[in-house]
Amino acid sequence: MLEAEVLAVLWSAGDALTPEEVRRRLGDDLAYTTITTILIRLQEKGAVRREPAGRGFAYAAVLREADLVANRMRALLEDQRDRDGVLSRFVAGLDAKTQAALRQALESGQGQR
């Protein structure tokens, strides 16, 4: 789970980040060494690249254009367009009316948490 979060942070940054920057963006009380360990492992897997930054290193996400696995993952989703597939998708698209109704529900419930 932490590996996924670190990768997500690097992807959203779009730029190379030092381990300390990654740690700050994760916002958890994580040890610096935990972050560096994950980053080094990700680099070994080829998912991030490392570049010198100051006295240490900065890490950036790598888009593997011809990534077979990513293409296969995408093909899986395209294959399972029916209701009883085994993939679980975060959301489906909504029509404008449903969207408006949901926004209203969110706003009317503003007070209670």
Partner 1 sequence: MSGPAFWLLVPFAASVVFGAWAPVAARRMPPRAATFLLSVGSSVVSGGTIVAAALVVALVGGETPVAAEHGHWSVHQLEAMQPFSTGVAVAAVAALILQAGALVHAAERHGRLLGRAWWTSHQATTALVVIDDPGPTAYAVPGWPGRIVASAGLLSAFDSTERRVVLAHEQAHLDGRHDLHLTAVALAAAVNPFLRRVPGACRLSTERWADERAAVAVGDRRVVAETIVRAAAAVPCPSPRMLTFGAARHHVVARVTALLDAPATHRPATELVMGATVLLTAVATALSVRDTKHLFEVAERALQVSAAG
User: Which positions touch partner 1 (CB under 8 A)?
Assistant: 1, 3-5, 7-9, 11-12, 14, 25-27, 42, 45-47, 61, 63, 65, 68-70, 72-74, 76-77, 79-96, 98-99, 101-103, 105-106, 109, 113
Pairwise CA distance, residues 110 & 113, whole Å: 7
Q: Minimum distance from CB of 52 to partner 1 (Å)?
A: 23
In one letter, which amino acid is 52? P
Contact 62, 68 (CB under 8 A): no
Closest CB to partner 1 among residues 52, 91: 91
In one letter, which amino acid is 40? I
Contact 30, 39 (CB under 8 A): no
Closest CB to partner 1 among residues 53, 103: 103
Closest CB to partner 1 among residues 35, 47: 47
Contact 59, 22 (CB under 8 A): yes
Q: Minimum distance from CB of 31 to partner 1 (Å)?
A: 19
